[in-house]
Structure 1
Amino acid sequence: MRRLQKPGDIDFVPAGVDGSWEDDADCQILRLSFRPSLLEQVAEELGRDAAKIELIPQLQLRDARIEAIGWAIKADLEADRPSNPLYIDLLANALAVRLIEIASDGRLQTEGSSAPGMSTRQLRVLIEFIEANLDQRLHLADLATVAGVSVTRLKTLFRNSTGTPVHQYVIRRRTEYARALIATTTMPASEVALAAGFAHQSHMASTMLRILGQTPGEIARPSR
Structure 2
Amino acid sequence: MAPTGGGDLERSCTSAVSDSIKVAPASGGIERIEAHFHGDAFEPHRHDTYALGLTLQGVQSFWYRGLVRYSQPGNVIVLHPDELHDGAAGTDEGLRYRMLYLPPEMLIGALGEKRRGLPFVPSPVIADRAFAASLGDAMRDLDGAIDTLQLDDVLTGIADALGRHADAAGMAPGRNYDQAAIRRTCDFLQAHFDRQVSSDELETVSGLDRFTLARQFRASLGTSPHRYLVMRRLERARGMIGSGKSLVDIALETGFSDQAHFTRHFKKANGMTPGRWANLRSRA
- The TM-score, its normalising length taken from structure 2, stands at 0.36
Higher RCO by CA contacts (8 Å cutoff, separation 6 or greater): 2
Q: Which has the higher helix share?
A: 1
Structure of greater Rg: 1
- The TM-score, its normalising length taken from structure 1, stands at 0.44
Q: Which has the higher strand share?
A: 2
